[in-house]
Amino acid sequence: MAHGHFAWTDLSTFDMKAARADYTALFGWAFHGDPTYDFATQNGTEVAAVFPMPPRLAAINMPSFWMSYVHVPDVSATLAKARTHHGVIIEVEPQPFGDNAQIALVRDPSGAGFTLYEGPDIRDVGTVAHRYHHLPAVALIETFYADLFGWTFELAANTPWPTFAIRHPDGTTIAHAEEVPETILGTLRYWMPAFAVGSLQATAERIAARGGQTVVELPGDRLMLVDRQGAHFMVCASSPAAAHR
């Protein structure tokens, strides 16, 4: 069981055709053309998925967004823990995810959303090299994630801003939290995937050519990008974890 590990990544998007074209150009992904939940493959392996923006989110002008899934043994039990923490929002109650799994969507005390996943082990594969959480203060979420998943937060760097390695109980570093300046933080909170690419410059040029842009250059050989439908994500030239150890 991969309890407490990130398990999957998908993209809510307004224009499926445009999203397929953009991420094929950016990462070389291939798609099957499913109109409801379309898996992206690379070298024959499913690495992510895209699906239409849910109507209730489209109605409030939610920009397109990447979602990170965390594997748990019991979605309902984990939700019960989440409800005890101040500032937590349960966006989506438990619902089926395919034939043998279920999910629920939670916003942590900082406002960043993630999906709880209960089902067969689908430990993250493909081009997601790492994940980052940008927020004003790690203290907002430290107790919450310790309670839900047993994660611990260890200061890994002080410059250019405080960066914390997020450790799973098995000892692995599964993500980083960064207390970034307001100019980078923006108004929305994310669990942001960082996709590995062969060339940062070439990827930046490709997204610009498709109507997106580079938001900011980040330490650890990373760029934060935004696609033409508003979805923020990162790319890295190699696994950025080593830069923070």
**Rounded CA separation 168/152 (Å):** 7
Estimate the share of the chain in helix, then strand, then coil, as percent rounded to the nearest 5: 20, 40, 40
Tell me the per-residue pLDDT of 151-189, one tens digit each, with 9 for 90 and over. Answer: 999 999 999 999 999 999 999 999 999 999 988 888 888
The total domain count for the chain is 1
Residue 230 lies in a domain: yes
Count the residues in the chain: 245
Question: How many CA atoms within 13 Å lie on the side-chain side of 105?
Answer: 13
| Domain assignment present for 36 | yes
Inside any domain, residue 189: yes
pLDDT (tens digit per residue) in 187-244 = 888 899 999 999 999 999 999 999 999 999 999 899 999 999 999 999 998 644 433 3
Is 104 inside a domain boundary? yes
Question: Which residues are bridge partners to 152 per DSSP?
Answer: 167
Query: Does residue 1 fall inside a structural domain?
Result: no
The pLDDT value recorded for residue 239 is 46
Cis peptide before 54, with omega less than 30 degrees from 0? no
CATH number, domain at 89? 3.10.180.10
Asked whether residue 42 is domain-assigned, the answer is: yes
**Which long-range contacts does 100-104 make (Cβ < 8 Å, 24+ apart)?**
102/75, 103/69, 103/75, 104/75, 104/78, 104/79
Nearest to 127 by CA among 194, 80, 51: 194
Q: How far is CA 154 from CA 2, 130, 136, in A?
A: 21, 16, 16
Question: What is the rounded average pLDDT of the residues 12-23?
Answer: 96
87 in a domain, yes or no? yes
Asked, for residue 227, whether it belongs to a domain, the answer is: yes
Q: Where is pLDDT greater, at 215 or 127?
A: 215
Percent of the chain with pLDDT over 70: 94
Q: How confident is the model over 36-62, as pLDDT tens digits? A: 999 999 988 899 999 999 888 888 788
Domain extent at residue 23 = 6-244
